[in-house]
Amino acid sequence: MLKKIAMLAFLLSAASQANAFSSTNISLYLAPKLSYIGMQAGQNSNEVLVPQLGVGAGLTVNHLFYLGGELFANRQFLTIKNGSNNTSDLRPKYEWGGSVLPGIVFDPRALGYGRLGLVSARFADLNQIQTGVQAGIGIEVRLMPMFYLAGEYTFTRFRHLDGVDGTPFSDQYSVGITYRYPGFE
């Protein structure tokens, strides 16, 4: 009997909470980006351009708060600069990971968000795969229905790489177009 009362209380509570989220909007998205990544560890540094692809989902509550989740991957594309004092090549051959994106909807055309996530990278020349943590900020501005211009900065700190002095970290600047269905209004 106690189980039935507890279940009934839970169901009534869940039903009353459904009204609180009556203006909830869920959108799926595809986010191709072009990223500049500056990687450093000790005296070693590399700068690369990489294409990146993110797929995810976002939830907007009361047209104000945003919470998203994203899976992403990128692949080394073009080396811009190798450090003159390099003893090791820090260019990741590819990276993959996932992030949580909490944010605020400024209006139906603009979204600001933070990025907290984990990333793994394959450092081919060092024959190592390492995991790192990410933190960043970004903004999306609607260009037309379902298409948004995105800009983002992400800082990543990796675990120690064998044979490399210092802790590897990167600064990543990205621009891209996000396709959202149905959008975050």
Distance CA 1, CA 141 (A): 54
Q: Higher confidence at residue 3 or residue 181? A: 181
pTM for this model (two decimals): 0.83
Q: 20 - beta bridge partners?
A: none
**What's the confidence (pLDDT) of residue 132?**
96
Find how far residue 7's CA is from the centre of its chain: 38
**What's the confidence (pLDDT) of residue 130?**
93
- Note down the domain range covering 88: 23-181
Q: Which amino acid is at 182?
A: P
CATH at residue 106: 2.40.160.20
In a domain, 7, yes or no: no
In a domain, 15, yes or no: no
In a domain, 76, yes or no: yes
DSSP string, 101-133: EEEEEEETTEEEEEEEEEEEEEEGGGTEEEEEE
Residue pLDDT, tens place only, 2-44: 555 555 455 444 444 443 334 678 899 999 999 999 999 988 8
In a domain, 1, yes or no: no
In a domain, 48, yes or no: yes
Domain count, the chain: 1
**What's the confidence (pLDDT) of residue 19?**
39
CB 46 within 8 A of CB 168: no
Residue pLDDT, tens place only, 86-136: 767 888 889 999 999 999 999 889 999 999 999 999 988 888 999 999 999
What sign does the dihedral 138-116-95-59 (CA atoms) show?
negative
In a domain, 164, yes or no: yes
Per-residue pLDDT, averaged over 33-62, amounts to: 93
Residue pLDDT, tens place only, 64-80: 999 999 999 999 888 88
What tokens were used for 120?
């793994």
